[in-house]
Structure 1
Amino acid sequence: MSKIRDKILVIFLSIVLIPLIIVCTFFALHTSKSLKSDKIIDFQRTTKSESEKAIEFLFSIEKDIRSLSSHLFLLNLIDAIARKDTGQINRWEFDVEILFKTFSECRGVYDQIRYIDESGHEVVRVNLERGYAHIAPHEELQDKSHRYYFKEAVKLNEGDIYVSQLDLNREHGEIEVPHKPMLRYAIPVFDREDKNRGIFVLNVLADFLLRGILTHKHLKGVDSFLLDKEGFYLLHPEISKQWGGPSDLNTGENLKNDFPQGIVSVILSGQSGDRFANKQFLNFIPIHFDPSDNERYWIFIETLPKSIVYSPIHTFYIMFGVLVFMLIAGVVTSALVFSNKLTRPIHKLVASANKIAKGNLTEKVTVESKDEIGYLANSFDTMRVELGKLLKDIKDARRDWETTFDSVGDIIAIYDKDCTLIRSNKALLNRLSVKSEEIIGKKCYEVFHHDKYEELSKCPVIETAKSMKTVTREEETPCMNGIFRISVFPCFNDSGEFLGVVQVMMDITERKREEGKLSMVNKELEAFCYSVSHDLRAPLLNIDGFSKALVEKFADRLDSQGKDYLKRIGAASRRMSRLIDDLRNLSRITHSAMHGETVNMSAMVQRIAAELHEGQPERQVEFVIAEGITANGDASLLSVVLENLLGNAWKFTRRHPRARIEFGVAKDEGSRVYFVSDNGIGFDMAYAGKLFKAFQRLHDKTEFNGTGIGLATVQRIIHRHGGRIWAEGALEHGATFYFTLT
């Protein structure tokens, strides 16, 4: 069982630690993100700075070649060569050699500075060796007309510059060892008459670019790479991977071998960007080295290992974690001290509560505290006193309830949801002549000795437990020597959960005996009525016959008043005869055997409507009859029902020139409800209760003939079919009779 101190600790620590942890977490995440971002930004700045320096270097070469190719000394030499002025050639050749030598030593990045005439022969060449420039003697000057850079540069327009690929320098067709990466800048040279007079060439020592600029480390752990457009390494931390292109060492070392294809395609596309791959952060920037062709570029890449980027973050997490741990430890210690002080009086209160729980309501609750806990202790002590009074009241009420429960004359039995008896009143014990412990815990069918399987399905307790609906029935219970009205009700709690059932059994043995006697008396009365009505028919026929004979034979001797009296006697005897016939029919219907079958109600209504039309063909009555309506019942009795209802509708619509009678069926809560409606004179709903009583009439018999037995007969037939009948109407707005059948 959790203690209140633990709960206080949990609440206090939740209030303090959760916000603290959230704040610390956000701070740590934000700080780590900032540290990572700062590191990556510094890395990106480094890459951008080095690429910008490389571009500046290339731009300085462009400036150098433009400056030297248009220098006055070189132009004077070209003019002298064009004039074939040997003296001037020697003079200006010397000046150009000194210019090239001075410039080469000053800059220190040009392996060769050359002027090549239009035929491809070197005119002036200065070689840089170990920081010193040497003028090549005439016998060492070579024919370069076959070299690709001469062929490309000599075709250019004035001012255009040719830049070669960055490759390893070759001497006499072989790659020079040690390797000397070389980049050649060439520009066509024109005389003062704008005639092409050859090219000016700068052989750039690319190591200055590769080692001096692009590998200058601003950040620890950064590696630099330079690639050509095809992905071959021009610069790589591993020397063995450099110059793998087909025009150089042809080793096949390529970016495509080291990184995923998706990243390689982005890097070689000529776009700037950054990626993460192989546990490294990559920055890549294109370096466009040819000022006249933007599609010629190298790709400068720098990589920074993930471990270096996250190193300051790991250091931060360690220091921050130690700080947070110390802070949490301090908070937890404070919470423990606070919770112990707070819960000490609560422990005393708990001890008193345990005593009360064990039934000790005499010992006073004493907790010395002036805060809410002390107030709670005083309230608890007051509750102790009130609880004692309440327990006494509950015991008294329970005793009264048990007395009332046991004094009820009807049998009451309470079962759980498994149909096991859990309580009963004394009426059941007395009827079964058993003690409570003999039946408590038994199943319902065991209590009443219904042990046979075929009888278990009929047990009302089991039926209610399965259907969750109230079951009411009357049945004989042999074990208690009587007939009982049994009502079983399902019990639910406030949440709708089924708890069990309550069974109430009322002894109706005596009532059933009296009902039997009453049934015999009713049968004797009905037999008497039948006999009387049969015996009355002969005298009525005689009266009617003699009254007719008097009118026919003695008409000349009777005055008008006498004839009227005889006419009235005949009419009264005929009405009496019809009444006797209706009574005989009512009695016959009550006792006749029923034969169940499927009856076509629509066809039956159509037949009756046709008969009504034949009887009074002069009347214009519209019949609306729904097709295909059927019912289960006795065909002859249902015919009597429809004949009475349709006959009444025909009778009570005779004042309406456009009479309308309708037969159909409707749905009411899933049950079929048949109806006969008309637009006749209707009736006042205040007298609807008299409709189905024998001899009750709502209209004057002088206006509408009839005996008042018809609707009573209809109701008795409907009841015999297990249904019910009712009517709705309004004066001069017609009437509708509804009935159901089961």
Structure 2
Amino acid sequence: MNIATDSCQEKGQAMPNASLLHRAARLTIRKKLMLLFAVLIVIGAGNVFVIQSSFLRLQGTAILINLTGSLRWISQSIQLDTYRLVQGLDADRTAIEDRLKRLDETLAVLDGGGKLSGQEVKALPPNLQDAIESAWRHSINYRQKIDGILTGAISQQNIKAELDHLYRDGKAILELADVIAATLATNAELIEDEAMRNLYRLAMLDLAMLIFSLLVIRYQVVLPLRRLVRASRAFASGRHDARVGYRSQDEIGEVALAFDQMADTIQKDMEQIAEDVAQLRETSHSLRKMSQAIESSPATVVITDPQGIIEYINPKFSEVTGYTPQETIGKTPGILKSGLTSSAIYRNLWATIRAGREWRGELLNRKKNGDLFWEDTRISSLRDEHGRITHFIAVKEDITARKKAEDKIVQLNADLERRVAERTRQLTATNKELEAFSYSISHDLRAPLRGINGFAHLMEEGCQGCDKAESLDHLKRIRKASVRMGDLIDDLLELSRVARSEVRLESVRISDMALALLLELAESEPERKVETHVQENLVTQGDPVLLQAVLQNLLGNAWKFTSKRNHPIIEFGCREENGDQVFYVRDNGAGFDMKYADKLFAAFQRLHSPEEFEGTGIGLATVQRIIHLHGGRIWADSCLEAGSTFYFTLTDQRVRQSGNSTS
């Protein structure tokens, strides 16, 4: 009787809380309609957003068209004011300067976006970048000619020709402005077409949402009510097996549930007895399986009371420790203590499990025969219905073999660290010796070379005008040999420096680097006419200083070995090969026989005589070391007298390509 009273009291206390949670969580009809209304609001907001977005895009395109049109007025105004100034009809240059400034501002805004006259303007689309760049070039020529006219740098005889040139540049700007305006107008038509398509899609979405709303009302309200009415009439006519069968979180679902629960009350008591019997059988079967699992477990299992008195051990415990159940039950796990585990660990263990938390750790214990062994131990608590701890259960695994292996690994790691430290010390000493050797070459060897070259030069000057032509030739050869030896020392030092370099990766605009080097080569020999092709906008990750040395050697070789061609051609670019980005330097120079390709990147190896082409044979060896420092590879393809192509890759490169260019 008391048990029944307590159960009723507990149910009475739990019911209000459960009822409040149920009311808050259930999806009522009102909530469903509000959710449907919210979805409609979101769709409406989406309609507004799409329309507004299309309008803003059209507005931005219209602004760009207006700015492009203003180029015509500005250009024509500049030509008219310049003509008036030249003819003496107007002496004020301020208007021309203002319009030139306005022309630059307009081109800058069209190129990169920004504010102009208080308006925010976006940059032109990518497909118009070539047109705006061309307009920039004509604008620069435009300004230069006007500056020449305004400053009087052009004679009166040439003013007419300059005005004609000015007119042609202005006409070119007008034509480019027309091209840009036409393209923008086409874009505006495309935006307008896209906006109309979006409006059609939104209209279809709205129609679909309306149909969905009608279906929701039908299936969530009308049909459930009909089912409830049919079940009620059938139950009233004597069919007590009649059920509504409809379930939902709204009011209709609650009414249907209450009806079905009322119909189930009579059958529920009889079925409960059968269910209890089946549940008892299932529980008994589960307990037997659990007992068999613990008995057959490969881990040690120990169960104690709250005071730590052992009440149960499984067979694995006896197998590992040597203690039988008769020797263990009634005692504490202290019989396994080895005396080598600190008391702090045991204090932490008891504090943890008495607080109801799980403790996990490794314990060094002693078997019955005195042998030490390690156990990976987990201990947790069992509680009764009032939350009081009734037992502790420990699950332990023998990890002695693993601990021995870990100790061996620690010893091996210590030995490895010692050997690495010794090797590091040796490498450090070697690097210092290399640095001392480089210093010796740089200072001790350069001084005699400078002396030889200087004295040979003095002797050559002293022998000028004498009849000993053979002696003068010998002096020239001495000077040439000393200069070549100095170059060789420089290349050796560079090769040594590269071998000890640390690669500092950053973004490198390798196309710009190649263009700059080719320009330097062209300026060094202005009499040569070399056709060069550089693929634009190539960017990679690498050390800029080292990559500069790579391109300097490869492009320098291409420049050198095309010196005997009537129409020399040098190319630099990039292609994709097996998923990798491969850079290349190609020329139509002397080339080489591929049977000597294995000697190509070795130091001091030359495939041409010094009389044909000068060099030290160090450059390609330096290039190969730099490429290897970047984790890449380099190779060549050539045919004698048909040119060469050198290919190289870089590790973790990210190359962006926006087009090709010929210079």
- The bucket for the TM-score relative to the shorter chain is 0.3 to 0.5
Considering fraction of residues, name the structure with more helix: 2
Question: Greater Rg, structure 1 or structure 2?
Answer: 1
What TM-score, normalized by structure 1, do the two folds share?
0.32
